[in-house]
Amino acid sequence: MNQQTQNVIERGRAAIKQGNDRKIVIRTKEGKQILQSSLTVVAGVGAFLLLTGFISWPIIVIAAIAGYAARLQVQLTEEEGHVSTVVIES
């Protein structure tokens, strides 16, 4: 393989490893956990659904509005234990 192809493959592997090291957790405003998964899985499933047409932009917008109305918390946890929390509230 040429050098450019090798560089793309290495960057892809590094991105997947970083995604596997991070977890995404979605909770209700009361703290009840709705979803926990690796970031790689969430991104992969989302891309697959979007590219195959199983999900469309209007559905994504409706889901975002529903998350806003439900005041969901989205947490991104890194392997080192650092947690970034986004609270969606009106």
Q: Are 75 and 88 in contact (CB under 8 A)?
A: no
Per-position DSSP letters for 57-73, written without gaps between them:
HHHHHHHHHHHHHHT-E
The residue behind tokens 């109305």 is: 69
Distance CA 77, CA 18 (A): 11
Residue 90 pLDDT > 60: no
> pLDDT for 6-60, tens place per residue?
888 888 888 888 878 888 888 888 889 988 988 888 888 888 888 888 778 888 8
Distance CA 50, CA 90 (A): 27
User: Which pTM was predicted?
Assistant: 0.64
Is pLDDT larger for residue 83 or for residue 33?
Answer: 33
- Domain ranges in the chain are 3-87
Residue 1 pLDDT > 70: no
pLDDT in the model for residue 49 = 86
Residue type (1 letter), 77:
T
